[in-house]
Structure 1
Amino acid sequence: MNIFIREYKTQDAEDAAEIWNQVVRDGVAFPQEKELTTKEADNFFKEQIYTGIAENKDTGMVVGLYILHPNNVGRCGHICNASYAVKKDIRGQHIGEKLVKDCIVIGKEKGYRILQFNAVVASNIHALHLYHRLGFIKLGVIPQGFKLPDGTYEDIIPHYITL
């Protein structure tokens, strides 16, 4: 698959919303519980510091995305945060890795010094392995920091990397 990452455009809203909503429906990675309409998605993706779109160059299909935004303000405003989503039926093809690597570059270009993930769910082993491989540092464990769709709770493991 010939993947390139580019900046979000309004015409991506429907595809991006569907990919985002797949992760929301799964209920095991994003804190959001409400799916986005196409209009809400367009607004949401535009209000981020940057939204990256993974596109298959051969087919023109949107296959993933990430959002980059401040993690905090003021004296902690040099720390950014991001979320990643890959189309469900093509996960496992290193698209997420391309998204994270692009996000690291863009985060640095935008003037951030640190990329921090606040809530990596402990059962998200693929993300955990990827972040470890890319040099992210674990900050510890927050017991039962994430509520699963069945009402049970799971640990989260915050991570960071210096940009």
Structure 2
Amino acid sequence: MSNRPAPAVVPYSTEHLPAMTTIWNEVVVDGIAFPQEDQLSVEEATAFFAEQTHCGVALDHATGEVLGLYILHPNNVGRCGHISNASYAVGSKARGRGAGRALVSDCIQQARTHGFKVLQFNAVVATNTVARKLYESLGFVQLGTIPGGFRMPDGTYEDICPYYLSL
């Protein structure tokens, strides 16, 4: 483990959009965590990130480099609008540097600030053990398992595990 400080998480700004788009698309192309299959252009990403309730970026303290990001938004509408949902993306070169924990922790605070009562993850891929261990260490509870809920790039199917945290 490095002695470097945990990344700072700040609200995104337009200067972060190119790096955010690259990191988001890297996770999409990997095909093992996000359900999306299409990459975003910078123009599409600009609109996509702007429509979220909140987006945070993890920055390296020394360089200001964007290490990762999250999006926070309602999981549903109306009588279920108090439940939020989030997605996290950490660049492959930044993994293992604390960005994931910093992003999830900030997201929990932002969800509370925005009045959400629950933070729910609908489709955590069962084989994404690093994310699952992180979520569980922060108090998230697995709701169950949906067999074969996620199509992998090779055409096989993996289970997904919904999680939630009461805020």
TM range (shorter): over 0.9
Structure 1 runs, 4 residues or longer, greater than 6 Å off = none
Return 5+ residue gaps in structure 1 as ranges: none
Counterpart-to-counterpart distance in 2, 1:90 and 1:66: 14
- Aligned pairs for 1:45-60 (under 5 A) are 45-60=49-64
Q: Is 2:48 the partner of 1:14?
A: no
Aligned to 2:77: 73
Counterpart-to-counterpart distance in 1, 2:36 and 2:19: 18
Counterpart-to-counterpart distance in 1, 2:15 and 2:157: 37
Aligned to 2:65: 61
Counterpart-to-counterpart distance in 1, 2:12 and 2:97: 21
1:137 to 137, 141, 144: 141
- Provide the TM-score with structure 2 as the length reference: 0.95
Counterpart-to-counterpart distance in 1, 2:96 and 2:146: 27
Counterpart-to-counterpart distance in 2, 1:130 and 1:59: 25
Amino acid at match of 2:23: I
1:83 to 70, 87, 92: 87
Secondary structure of the equivalent of 2:73? strand
Return 5+ residue gaps in structure 2 as ranges: none
1:13 and 1:39 in contact (8 A); partners too:
no
Per-residue Cα deviation, 1:22-67 (whole angstroms, up to 9, x for no partner):
1001100001000111111111111100000111121011111000
1:126 to 113, 123, 130: 130
- Provide the TM-score with structure 1 as the length reference: 0.98
Alpha-carbon distance, 1:13 to partner: 1.0
Alpha-carbon distance, 1:116 to partner: 0.1
Secondary structure of the equivalent of 1:144? strand
Counterpart-to-counterpart distance in 2, 1:88 and 1:45: 20
Q: Is 2:128 the partner of 1:151?
A: no
Amino acid at match of 1:21: N
1:143 and 1:156 in contact (8 A); partners too:
yes
Counterpart-to-counterpart distance in 1, 2:16 and 2:9: 13
Secondary structure of the equivalent of 1:158? strand
Alignment size in residue pairs: 163
Q: Is 2:105 the partner of 1:97?
A: no
Aligned to 2:114: 110
Counterpart-to-counterpart distance in 2, 1:7 and 1:93: 19
Report the aligned-residue RMSD: 0.8
Aligned sequence identity (%): 55
